[in-house]
Amino acid sequence: MKIKICLFIIALSMVANAQPKWENLFNGKDLTGWKQINGNAKYSVVNNMLVGESVLNSPNSFLATEKNYSDFILELEFKVDPQMNSGMQIRSESRSDFKNGRVHGYQVEIDPSPRCWTGGIYDEARRGWLYPLTENQVGQKAFKQNQWNKVRIEAYGSSIRTWVNGIPCADIIDDMTKEGFIALQVHDIGNDKNKEGIKVEWKNIRILTVDVAKNLTKNKNTIPQYNYVPNILSEKEIKEGWKLLWDGKTTEGWHGAKIDKFPENGWELKDGILKVMKSGGAESRNGGDIITSKKYKNFELRAEFLITEGANSGIKYFVDPDLNKGEGSAIGCEYQILDDEKHPDAKLGVAGNRTCAGLYDLIAPINKRFNGIGIWNNAKIVVNGNHVEHWLNGFKTVEYKRSNQMWRALVSNSKYKVWPNFGEGSEGHILLQDHGDEVWFRSIKIKELK
C-alpha cells in the first residue's frame, strides 16, 4: 500500500512539474510592476481590471512592465470601446537616444475599426505595419466587438505569432529587437472631445518565460508568414518552395541585360545589399540593368528595396532582353520604384501611372503605404497566368489581367505601343533596373507557382 501511495505522489509531482509555470503580470489590485511612459492617459484598477482611459491632447500613452522580456508566451483578455485604437507592445524600448524616449517596438494591434486588423503586428515609431491582416481574412473575423477577447502572443527567437480568440492572426520572422518591455497602449485622440474618456480594459494578464519552446503552439501554416530577416529563408518558406533569387553574397544567377556577364561597374555587393550606384540619373548608362539567368512564368516574387532622395529604379518581369539592343533599359512590365515627391517622372504619364508600386506608364497604384526615403520597403509581385498583382508593404496596389482588350488598350496609349505584343509573353526574365540613382535591394526571393 505504501508503495502505491509513493508512486501516486511521484506521478502527481511529475504532472505538476509538466504544467506551464505561468506568472501573473497584473495582480488585479494595483499597478505594482508597471510604469507609465510618454502620454498622460489615465490608467487605473477597477473591479480586478486594468483600465486605460483616453485624455485630450496627449501623445500615445503606454503602461509598461518594469521588467524586460525576451522569449515568452503572453496571454491576456481585453475589451475595447469601438472608437478606441489600442494595442499591446512587446519587446519594446524607450531610450533617450531614440526620438527623445518615444516608445518603439512591436505592437500587437487592437483595432475595432471596420478594417479589422486586431492581432496584426505594427512596428510602433519605426517601420510601421509588419503584418496587416490584408491577406488573412479569417483572422479579420476573430475580434468580437463589445466583448472580452483573448489574445495569445508567442515570441521565441526571431518568430512572433499571435492569436485572437484561438484564431491565428499574425506570423512574422524578425530580429530587430530581441528583448524589451511589455506595455498597454492608449492611443492619442488629439483634441477630439467625442473620444475623451473612452476606455480599453485588460484582465488575466499572464506570461510564461520557462520552457517556452515546449509550450509553443504547433504551426499549422494556415496563414501567410512575413520574413524580415535579410537574405534568409525561414523553415516555413523552405517548405513552401521559396528560393533566394539573390544569395546575398555573389552574382550567381544574374548577368547584365545586354551582356553575358555581371557588370564590372555600376553595381555593388556589400553587407548583404545589392546596390545600384549613383551615376547621374541616366537610364541604363552605367553598369546597366541586370537580369536573372533563368526565365520565369508563374511566380510570387518578394524583394526589399530602399531608395535615396530623388531616386528612380524598377523591378521588371516578362523581360525579353532581345527586344531592345540599343540605348535605354530592357523591355518588360515594370513595378515602378520611385521617390514620388522628388523625381519628375512621378508627374509625367497619366493620372499617377508612373509612381511607386504602380505598373509603369500603364496603371497607377492604389492603397499605397510607402515607408519612406532611406527606409526599407517590401515589394511583392504575383503572376499567375494572365493575372498579375503588385503589393507594397502588405497592401495590394495594382491588379490586372494581360492579353485581353483592356490590356491592349492600355498598351496602345503608353510608351510601350512601339513594341509588338508587349507584356503578352508566357515567360521572361526578372530585371533590376539601373536608372543612374542609388537604390538598394536585398531579400530577393521567389516561389514558382504551378
The pLDDT of residue 329 is 86
Pairing of the two strands 439-448 and 331-338: unpaired
Angle at 133 between CA 81 and CA 356, to 5 degrees: 120
3-class SS of residue 407:
helix
C-alpha span between 447 and 387 (Å, rounded): 16
DSSP state of 134: G
C-alpha span between 94 and 97 (Å, rounded): 9
Nearest to 26 by CA among 74, 69, 90, 86: 74
Nearest to 119 by CA among 69, 160, 177, 175: 160
The pLDDT of residue 15 is 42
Residue 163 neighbours by CB under 8 Å, 6+ apart:
119, 142, 151, 152, 153, 169, 217
Residue 240 neighbours by CB under 8 Å, 6+ apart:
221, 447
Sheet strands (E) in 228-342: 243-244, 254-256, 267-270, 273-276, 290-292, 299-307, 312-320, 331-338
The pLDDT of residue 5 is 52
Residue 18 phi/psi, 5° resolution? -80, -15
Burial string for 169-206 (b: 16+ CB within 10 Å, else e) reads bbbbbbeebeebbbbbbbbbbeeeeebeebbbbbbbbe
Q: List, in sequence order, every residue forming a beta bridge with 12; answer none if it has no partner.
A: none
C-alpha span between 384 and 10 (Å, rounded): 59
The pLDDT of residue 296 is 98
240 residue type, one letter:
E
The pLDDT of residue 4 is 53
Q: Can 21-227 and 235-448 be said to share one CATH topology?
A: yes
Task: Please write down the HEC assignment for all residues of 229-254.
Answer: CCCCCCHHHHHHCCEECCCCCCCCCE
pTM, 2 dp: 0.90
Q: Give me 244's grid cell.
A: 533566394
The DSSP-derived string for 83-125 is: T--EEEEEEEE--TTTGGG--EEEEEEE--STT--TT-EEEET
Q: List average pLDDT for each run of 10 residues in the chain, which is 450 residues long.
A: 51 58 97 96 97 96 98 98 96 96 98 97 95 96 97 98 98 97 97 95 98 94 94 96 97 95 95 93 80 97 98 97 82 97 94 97 96 96 98 97 96 94 94 96 97
Residue with cell 484598477: 45
Question: What residues does each domain of the chain span?
Answer: 21-227, 235-448
Beta carbons within 10 angstroms of residue 267's beta carbon: 22
Residue with cell 494556415: 222
Which homologous superfamily is 235-448 in? Exo-inulinase; domain 1 (2.60.120.560)
298 residue type, one letter:
N
At the top level of CATH, which class does the domain 21-227 belong to? mainly beta
C-alpha span between 238 and 248 (Å, rounded): 17
The pLDDT of residue 17 is 55
